[in-house]
Structure 1
Amino acid sequence: MIRPVRHIAAMTPYALAELNAPIGKRLVSLSQNESLQPPSPLAIAAAADALASAQLYPDPDWTALRIALGTTHDIAPSDILCGNGSMELIASLTLAFANPQNAVLAPANAYPFFKTAAQLAQARFDTAPEKHGQVSVDALLAAVRADTRIVFVANPGNPTGTRISRPELLRLREGLRADIMLVIDEAYGEFADHLDEPMFDLVKRGDVVVLRTFSKAYGLAGMRVGWGVFPAQIAEHVRKVMNPNNISVAGQAAASAALKDHAYMRATCLRTATERDRFISDLRAAGFDVADSFTNFALIRFGNADAAKCADNALRAEGVFLRAQGGAGLPDCLRVTIGDPDDMNLTAALLKRWKEGENT
């Protein structure tokens, strides 16, 4: 029998969304935090044009994309690395800077892939408690151990949707040892950019990495394009474990073009936020516990894990799929992606009907 290495055999596969609607029901997928709008027409056209040269390998240095990102965010292109989604960058960072003698630290209700990345590197994965879905800087600092090497913080958070301020992130960084890397995952950063608290400048310290993605606000989840700003001494080693041809020709072209249509991206964020806030208000009026969100999703808290499971089953029976959050330490919660208004109205109506049935 051919056996895998021990640490891989011990891992649980990363949980993917279940999307099998009952026979006769239309699938309403609100489980993967995809954009409620397609990509910019400029991105679609650029991707189509790029297929004419698909016989060639993609640019391993992402030259045009880095230049476009640098221009958009006033960042030196040489400080940028691009990945096959930000997941590749998270995994590569951990593989390059953590090992079985180290620990990776994250908030208790953080993005579950942080744990997966730690397991790949055979590093211990530690967590710090959150307060009502809010990252606690004091708890993170208290959880640091002598072998801690990386601290991951998603801001805004997934699946909580909450965020911490720039001053708090600065306090976290100042409280960490110099040999600990702080990785700020801003996958939903564009939905909070209006607050004007950029973090890219922290990278100049040499001990901070800031990640972003085109999957959310830009509607390019299917293209798998992530990026980040890295200190040179960190980027040098991360590139060693990355696939040298990681982003397709079409993906690079689409992302570069999307950056030229800033108005379209901002309109997508505004439309999403408007629909999100309307949906949250609707559910709150019906007695549901829904946190404020700075993302393209909302987190619904139920009384307990059984209630969340029951509500989830009721929705799935009608073809509506949200995302259970047991893997993020929130078994009493369901996360709902903000989608088409008609789908959000349907979801709210089904949840209200379920709640009424529970109370009769």
Structure 2
Amino acid sequence: MTSPSLSAAPAPLHGGPDAAGIPVLDFSTNSNACGPCPEALHAVQTADATRYPDPAYTALREALGAFHGVAPGRIVLAASASELIHRITALAAQQGAVQVAVPRHSYGDYAQAAQMRGLKVLRDGGAAAGLQWACEPSSPLGLTDPALHTWGQGDADAVWRVLDCAYVPLRLGPEGAWTGTPSPRMPSACWQLWTPNKALGLTGVRAAYAIAPPDCEEQANALTALAPSWPVGAHGVALLQAWMQATVQQWLVHSLRTLGDWKARQQTLCTDLGWAVHAGSLANYFCAQPATTTLQSNLAALRASGIKLRDATSFGLPGTVRLGVLAPAAQDALRAAWQALPGRTIPGCVSTGSGETL
């Protein structure tokens, strides 16, 4: 296998703060706009940062195991989801993976981790010997990942199958909405990767964990052995401990109702602006195609005014933006800023070419 050069893959693009600082109104991330969760924030702020956490995270793993109804030996702690994506890819490569399957439109770290290890990336998911990724709901479109249907048919060719559950707690109704505890219908025959910081509105706290499938504790131990000591610091431990509290989950469930109302309003606003909204998003974000022929300059102008949208080109959706759902006041500011831009296209419906309006 040929080792890639250090410059083989460009730096991944992300939403949120950038070289220009913190956006005043940030539609570019999928963080829960009702947050931060007050109780989780208090836990992080009062964490004892003067001491190391238990390097084995014994109590935390036991609690997370109880929360998900699995043995503690199936829990693997991580500095972040992104860190664990790279660690899982590294271990899969050690175990013989040569191909990685990723969704057609997906988080860039899946492919980047594979490319930096010389692994072939297969788009559109599918059956790839080695490592398969899925995300539920998907990002950036917020849809049910079609790979899960294939996984459910019992095809076991893959060394690793990993379901990114980052947005499971931010899934909105009417069906499959988060209820405060992990659904027993979550697939158990694959790895699950959990990152509660988005759901709690605390994306600056980097902490995550994975759940190994049944009878895969040996792989879980191997994955843990690849980590540096103390991958999760005191603040991350406090976040994960808070995540399991009933009152925190009650706050989250209540926030989903608000996000659902805000989402409907924001989608209507986009339609009023003449943007083609991609239908079907199940989460607190969605994609739209703005009515403009100068999207890049428009996004730059919005960013200069303190408003940031996520350009979806890196997801394989040129001409499209992903918008996290924000409060009505932020939505109204976006409307005013967009309408103030020069050279806008007159609002109107955009056809998909199949008789259906996006």
Mark yes or no: TM-score above 0.5. yes
Q: Which amino acid in the other structure matches residue 249 of structure 1? A: A
Paired position in structure 2 for 1:159: 140
CA distance in 2, matches of 1:233, 1:326: 39
Counterpart of 2:171 in structure 1 is 192
Structure 2 segments unaligned to the other structure (5+ residues): 178-182, 348-358
Change (3 A) 1:352 1:77: farther
Counterpart in the other structure of 1:298 = 286
The alpha carbon displacement at 1:225 in A equals 1.4
Structure 1 unaligned residues grouped into runs of 5+: 129-139
Change (3 A) 1:235 1:275: same
Contact 1:312 1:334 in 2 (8 A): no
Q: 1:236 aligns with which of 197, 216, 221?
A: 221
Distance 1:213 1:101 in 2: 25
1:45 alignment partner, one of 28, 42, 45: 42
Normalization by structure 2: what TM-score?
A: 0.82
Cα gap change, 1:284/1:68 in structure 2, threshold over 3 Å: closer, same or farther? farther
What's the Cα RMSD here? 2.9
Aligned partner of residue 190 in structure 1, secondary structure: helix
Q: Which has the higher helix share?
A: 1
1:105 is aligned to 101
* Cα gap change, 1:159 to 1:106, in 2 (>3 Å): same
State whether residues 40 and 258 of structure 1, in contact with CA within 8 Å, keep that contact through their aligned partners in structure 2. Answer: no
Whether 2:236 is the aligned partner of 1:251: answer yes
2:219 is equivalent to residue 219 of structure 1: no
Q: How does 1:210-359 map to 2 (within 5 A)?
A: 210-231=192-213, 232-260=217-245, 261-291=248-278, 292-302=280-290, 306-352=293-339, 354=341, 357-359=344-346
Distance 1:172 1:199, change over 3 A: farther
Go from structure 1 to structure 2 and tell me whether the alpha carbon gap of 1:289 and 1:355 turns closer, same or farther (over 3 Å shift).
farther
| Count of residue pairs the alignment pairs up | 331
Cα 1:351–1:303 change in 2 (3 A) is: closer
Q: How far does residue 307 in structure 1 lie from its aligned partner after superposition? A: 4.1
Tell me how far 1:185 sits from its aligned partner. Answer: 0.6
Name the CA distance, whole Å, in 1 between partners of 2:199 and 2:23: 25
**Secondary structure of 1:150's aligned partner:** strand
**Which residue of the partner structure matches residue 15 of structure 1?**
13
The alignment partner of 1:298 has SS state of: strand
Matches within 5 A, 1:59-208: 59-98=54-93, 102-128=98-124, 140-141=125-126, 144-145=127-128, 148-164=129-145, 169-174=148-153, 176-192=155-171, 195-196=175-176, 198=183, 202-203=187-188, 205=189, 208=190
Aligned to 1:55: 50
Secondary structure at the counterpart of residue 6 of structure 2: helix
Moved more, 153-162 or 171-180: 171-180
Residue pair 2:170, 2:256 contacting (<8 A) in 1 also: yes
Contact kept? 1:64, 1:256, Cα under 8 Å:
no
Corresponding residue SS for 2:46? helix
**SS at structure 2 position matched to 1:110:** coil
Going from structure 1 to structure 2, the CA distance change for 1:65 and 1:164 (only over 3 Å counts) comes to same
Match of 1:34?
Answer: 31
Relative to the length of structure 1, the TM-score reads 0.81
Whole-Å separation in 2 of the counterparts to 1:193 and 1:228: 23
Letter in 2 for 1:123: L
Q: Secondary structure at the match of 2:130?
A: strand
Q: Is the 8 A contact 2:97 2:130 kept in 1?
A: no
Contact 2:172-2:284 at 8 Å conserved across structures: no
Paired residues of 1:224 and 1:251 also in contact (CA < 8 A): yes
Question: 1-side partners of 2:176 and 2:57: how far apart?
Answer: 28
Contact 1:325 1:332 (8 Å CA) reproduced: yes
Find the counterpart in structure 1 of residue 350 from structure 2. Answer: none
TM-aligned CA deviation for residue 353 of structure 1: 5.2
Partner AA of 2:224 in structure 1 = R
C-alpha distance in structure 1 between counterparts of 2:91 and 2:155, whole Å: 20
2:352 corresponds to which residue? none
CA contact (8 A) 1:42 1:258 kept: no
Distance 1:158 1:106 in 2: 12
Distance between the aligned counterparts of 2:62 and 2:97, measured in 1? 38
Secondary structure at 1:96 match in 2:
helix
Change (3 A) 1:125 1:69: same
Q: Distance in 1 between matches of 2:13 and 2:38?
A: 32
